[in-house]
Amino acid sequence: MESVKVSIVIPVFNAKQLVEKMIQSILVQTYSDWELLLVDDGSDADVLAMLREYASKDARIQVIVRNRAPKSAQTCRNIGLQQAVGKYIVFFDSDDLIAPYCLRQRVDFMKTHPHLDFGVFPAHEFTGDADAATSASTKWGVPQPHDDVLGAFLRTRYPFTVWTNIYRRAALTDVSWDEQVVVYQDFDFSLSVLLKNKTFAYCETAADDYFYRIRHSAQSTAGNYVTEAKCRSTVYLFSKILDRLKTRDDYVRRKKDLLAFVLLHWERLAVYGDRQQVLEYLSFVRKYYAWQVGAVIALLSRLILFARKRRLRKLEDNAIVASRFWYKRYAKPLSK
């Protein structure tokens, strides 16, 4: 078969040793017709020097320094998308790893399925002290028992994510990374692709070819989702999604689907946020959902804030359980 170029876009911000491991996993690919766009987001001088050293040794590697605001991985990915020249494009994270056959099996699949906008491949997670190739944990990129992919995404049950996929670059001319979104970025991009009705298929015969690194730190706790910037971003993201869904015939159903995610963020706010954040979030909920939904969340919010103030952990936990039980009853018609 004729060789076609694959563009690999990776935003980089420090984490020198992990970035180097990802670059090395690309250099040993059995498929050689690729370009690697390393888009730097303001790394330390030694990291940038390391990137440029790799570029000086391999003409397929380009180092691009972000030259506009905002500072973010999404901005870097958009810059990479704009400068990519490959027929296909993949978006990888700088601290993960790929199998030596990753690009080969993805390109072969797309060549034999010319009608698809993107293909989906299996991946699993690993921790820093585990062997990436053999660590078998949570898997993405495999067919689910149901075929309601949009509903699964809205309910935070991601059957795939950005790095499990290879996209036909021509299919992304009307899709980009929203640079106002500072949390749940991969979810937002995947949902944008689905709402644009892009065609895809799972490569069910593929071996796991992407290994997602789990880095346990303060940045990975639920409390990290309730910073002021991330709370604003989440309200913006959910509002944007609901406004898009309004044009669909199944809007009522999809709004109920997204409520699972809306409640997940509310739980994080109720447990880790402050009273003002909860009140502002309630304003968003009341704008888009029936008064009963806002009333239930308001009541449970007061209960949790009361329990937190008096350190009544059991009462706080029971309120969270009650919210999940209520959602299951509220969303029950979706399973029929």
Pair 212, 238 in one domain: no
Instruction: Print pLDDT tens along the chain (336 aa).
Output: 456 899 999 999 999 999 999 999 999 999 999 999 999 999 999 999 999 999 999 999 999 999 999 999 999 999 999 999 999 999 999 999 999 999 999 999 999 999 999 999 999 998 876 666 666 666 899 888 777 999 999 999 899 999 999 999 999 999 999 999 999 999 999 999 999 999 999 999 999 999 999 876 544 466 688 899 999 999 999 999 999 999 999 999 999 999 999 998 988 888 888 888 988 999 999 999 988 888 888 888 888 777 777 777 787 777 778 777 777 766 654 433
Pair 195, 330 in one domain: no
Number of domains observed in the structure of the chain: 2
Pair 150, 251 in one domain: no
pTM, rounded to two decimals:
0.91
> Which residues make beta-bridge pairs with 12?
40
Q: What is the SS3 assignment for 55?
A: helix
Among 216, 245, 261, where does a domain finish? 216
CATH label of the domain that carries residue 150: 3.90.550.10
HSE, CB side, 13 Å, CA atoms: give it for residue 132.
19
End-to-end CA distance of the chain: 46
d(CA 168, CA 165): 10
Pair 154, 280 in one domain: no
Among 216, 236, 270, where does a domain finish? 216
* Closest alpha carbon to 231 in 261, 188, 282, 269: 269
Pair 103, 185 in one domain: yes
User: What is the rounded (10 degree) CA torsion for 20, 22, 23, 26?
Assistant: 160
Pair 50, 190 in one domain: yes
Q: Write out the residue range of the structural domain in which residue 287 sits.
A: 222-335
Pair 170, 265 in one domain: no
Pair 205, 82 in one domain: yes
Pair 229, 208 in one domain: no
Pair 238, 310 in one domain: yes
Q: Are 31 and 107 in contact (CB under 8 A)?
A: yes
* Closest alpha carbon to 200 in 156, 247, 153: 153
Among 183, 216, 249, where does a domain finish? 216
256 inside domain: yes
129 inside domain: yes
